[in-house]
Chain A
């Protein structure tokens, strides 16, 4: 949190120029051509994929299914599958075989 220190700032301020004030996210999941799929047998839950994921869309669980992906934002870049030390992740084409 911002520390509370006395500052002599004017009570009224004017904003000059455009100001970004709404935190938004682009639906980058729509770019995806390949989707990472995890082999729960091989995954050791080390968290390497989550550390390198550019969109931070991987959640590592301690119990149950090892990984959760946020499909709204996963761009399908494949860094997680490339970096997995156990090769537990594979990239499969989005949309299946047909």
Chain B
């Protein structure tokens, strides 16, 4: 049983050692608010591990387990199947993993869970590098972004997680951003009401790793949506639904200028990135018309 030393805000403790300006608290609070107390969390190591507790100290009021980086989807599948075997078909198993635990290391177990269509919700909060261990580049790091392992800017582009997820033909998948909390809550609610393997990919800018003042987290996330660096979309029953069209599609100048990690990107890189963003959005638009 949980002993309360403080009054939680929603289902989350009010004081958590996440960085100044990090929106992961907001993601946890809104996800757990929508999911309700009948939820089990699976959290791999990463920034989200702040929420899975340290020694006897817990940070969330719902039960959870901290697994390993590579098997969070497998652990969640096991828990969900255990519940179903006991006749419990109401408890939702939610994985909240970072981009390293999803796009790099945990991709095989997520792929297996999606293939078997396990009854889990997989949420990836994407800060586009291994922020918790000191900003190492992940396969979610975009082109031209500087990290400690790609100091001159990443030479290649990021993996397209949502396309990988859609290729598994899951019942529900979506991308969301911390810039639009209502949209995020609506997508989590929709995922809650669907059965099967559901995946939500949430962009969460990182003031420490991306190099911008902590006050600008939401502004950076909004700029990413405006230039098409982050496309808001939903995938449901084989059909793609795109969000509002980005106002400045393919013009990431403002988005790049906000962050120190893109300070090495010149005209050429910006033009290349812009062309890629336009091309990707047009491809998704064509898919949405099918």
- Per-residue B-contact encoding for A56-84, CB less than 8 Å = 1, 0 else: 11000000000000101101111101110
Q: Is B279 close to A, CB under 8 A?
A: no
Contacting residues, chain A, for B290 (C-beta < 8 A): none
Interface check B5, CB cutoff 8 A: yes
Closest CB in chain B relative to A35 CB, distance in Å? 13
**Given A22-B56, A81-B215, A91-B215, also A55-B23 (CB < 8 A):** no
Alpha-carbon distance between A6 and B87 when the two chains are bound, in angstroms: 8
**Closest B residue, CB atoms, query A83:** B218
Let me know if A23 and B16 touch, CB within 8 A: no
- Chain B residues with CB under 8 Å of A70's CB are 14
Interface with A: B57-65, B71-79, B150-158, which one? B57-65
Contact B86 A7 (CB under 8 A): yes
Asked if A24 meets B13 with Cβ closer than 8 Å, knowing A31-B20, A78-B21, the reply is yes
Cα A8 to Cα B38 with chains together (Å): 18
Given contacts A56-B9, A77-B214, contact A23 B90 (CB under 8 A): no
Q: Which residues of A contact B9 (CB under 8 A)?
A: 55-56
Tell me the interface secondary structure of chain B in the complex. loop
Closest-by-CB residue of B relative to A1 is: B37
Using known A-B contacts A7-B87, A20-B57, A21-B56, determine if residue A26 contacts B218 with beta carbons closer than 8 Å.
no
Q: Which residues of the partner chain A approach B22 to less than 8 Å between Cβ atoms?
A: 54
Q: Which of B2, B21, B29, B181 contacts A79 (CB 8 A)?
A: B21
Q: Are B218 and A79 in contact (CB under 8 A)?
A: yes
B83-112: which residues lie under 8 A (CB-CB) from chain A? 86-88, 90
User: A5 near B87 (CB under 8 angstroms)?
Assistant: yes
Given A22-B5, A82-B216; 20 other pairs, CB 8 A cutoff: A2-B38, A21-B2, A22-B57, A23-B2, A23-B3, A23-B5, A23-B58, A25-B14, A25-B16, A54-B22, A55-B25, A56-B10, A56-B12, A73-B15, A77-B20, A77-B21, A79-B214, A79-B215, A79-B217, A83-B219
A interface with B by C-beta (< 8 Å)? 1-3, 5-9, 18-29, 31, 51-57, 70, 72-73, 75-79, 81-83, 91
B contacts, CB < 8 Å to A = 1-6, 8-10, 12-18, 20-26, 29, 37-38, 52-59, 61, 86-88, 90, 181, 207, 213-219
